[in-house]
Amino acid sequence: MQAMCQSHRAPKAGFTLIEVIAALILIGISAAILIPITGTGLRAELGFAGRNEQAEAIRGQMDAWLHSHRSGEGNDMIQFRQLVEATQLPAGVSIRDLQWIEFDLSGQPVTSSEQDILWVRLGNGQAELSTFFPPLQP
């Protein structure tokens, strides 16, 4: 009977050296895979933040023109176009398109010789925004 009791040993507490080494190797491999992926994501996110700031500068300029257009300068569209052309734009932003347009029967804008609706398109290398400025009724 004593022989039977001696064969039942209490389980050992802790891990063997092989188990610890295997866990460290797996952690190292996982880190080697994930760190470059995370770094790429962070660089892309920082680049997006820069593009977002440039888009906000363009949007801010369009909002300023829209405010001046609605505050009375939209009655004289030729004068409003001169205001747009004379505006000092943020660094890197340029007027991509500035033309008089009208809409055809399908609702698509087409170039016009009449000075009714002014189409302005601002942009830089990463962001672009366009807006239509119709004449306002007094």
Measured CA distances, 67 to 49, 51, 62, 70 (Å): 26, 24, 9, 5
- So what's the pLDDT on residue 93? 78
Contact assessment for residue 81 and residue 112, using Cβ atoms and an 8 Å cutoff:
no
Going from N- to C-terminal start, the domains of the chain cover: 16-133
- So what's the pLDDT on residue 89? 79
pLDDT at residue 120 tops 90 = no
Dihedral of alpha carbons 44, 50, 51, 55, sign:
positive
pLDDT in tens, 66-118: 887 777 765 677 887 888 888 887 777 788 888 888 777 777 777 777 767 88
**Residue 27 burial (C-beta neighbours within 10 Å; 0-12, 13-18, 19+):** exposed
Q: Which tokens is 135 given?
A: 């004449």
> The pTM is what?
0.52
